[in-house]
Amino acid sequence: KAGVTQTPRYLIKTRGQQVTLSCSPISGHRSVSWYQQTPGQGLQFLFEYFSETQRNKGNFPGRFSGRQFSNSRSEMNVSTLELGDSALYLCASSLEQRSYNEQFFGPGTRLTVL
Amino acid sequence: KQEVTQIPAALSVPEGENLVLNCSFTDSAIYNLQWFRQDPGKGLTSLLLIQSSQREQTSGRLNASLDKSSGRSTLYIAASQPGDSATYLCAVLNNNNDMRFGAGTRLTVKP
């Protein structure tokens, strides 16, 4: 069974631009969660989607948004990029909501904002 | 607000040694605790998931314990190998569905 895939793997943008990241969960998994990892703040939870609905949200500004499609694939969008948005963005999938199930992570998208 | 602490921040051991990594958390109202490993520049690999009602989980040379009342979890690695070198992270999923990660323990196993 294929693992969680994320595209693109690397991305370079400039301040003020917007970016969309994509995550395809493991087949049959219905929950997708997004995380940001930086050297200074470590791993922080962004949001979780389940059955096309945002179920939980971390403490990030409204510039960070996401959505989930009927096939469980998810996209994350960051608008008006700032230098501090440079990070490794990880998505994770689980069978059902992550309260009950083990999460499996993708390789991440490394975003650099210049 | 839940805080997750991992001690030590870094650990270096010779191959074959048994070792224990520690994770502590401040709020015992949790759904589960999960241990991950992360190789440099890569995503996270799930090692063990312990539900709040469980005391421990085992997988191969790994054993994780959970003491919710004292806010502690340990990851025991038996007969360590150079391939175990990585950063180990614990993550706590709170009852309010907020997930908090520790800063990790960077493990080096020397041949």
For the ranges A90-104, B67-81, B93-107, the lowest mean pLDDT is seen at A90-104
- Give A92's contacts in chain B (Cβ within 8 Å): 44
Cβ-defined contact of A104 to B34 (cutoff 8 Å): no
DSSP conformational letter for B9: S
To the nearest whole percent, how much of chain B has pLDDT over 90? 87
Letter string b/e over residues B90-105, b meaning 16 or more CB atoms within 10 A of that residue's CB? bbbbbeebbbbbbbbb
- Give B99's contacts in chain A (Cβ within 8 Å): 33, 45, 98
Distance of CA B96 to the CA centre of its chain: 21
Span B51-87, pLDDT tens digits: 999 999 999 999 999 999 999 999 999 999 999 999 9
Q: Assign residue A88 a region: left if phi > 0, alpha if psi is -120 to 50, beta otherwise?
A: beta
- What is the model's pLDDT at position A78? 97
Comparing alpha-carbon positions, the chain B residue that sits nearest to A35 is B99
Q: Could you say which of A44, A102, A105 has the minimum Cβ distance to residue B43?
A: A105
DSSP conformational letter for A84: G
Kind and range of the H or E element at A25?
A: none
Which of A38, A93, A103 to mutate to test binding with chain B, by most B CBs within 10 Å of its CB? A103
B93 and chain A: CB distance < 8 Å anywhere?
yes
The encoded tokens of residue A28 equal 């049959």
Residue the block writes with tokens 């970016």: A19
Comparing alpha-carbon positions, the chain A residue that sits nearest to B39 is A107
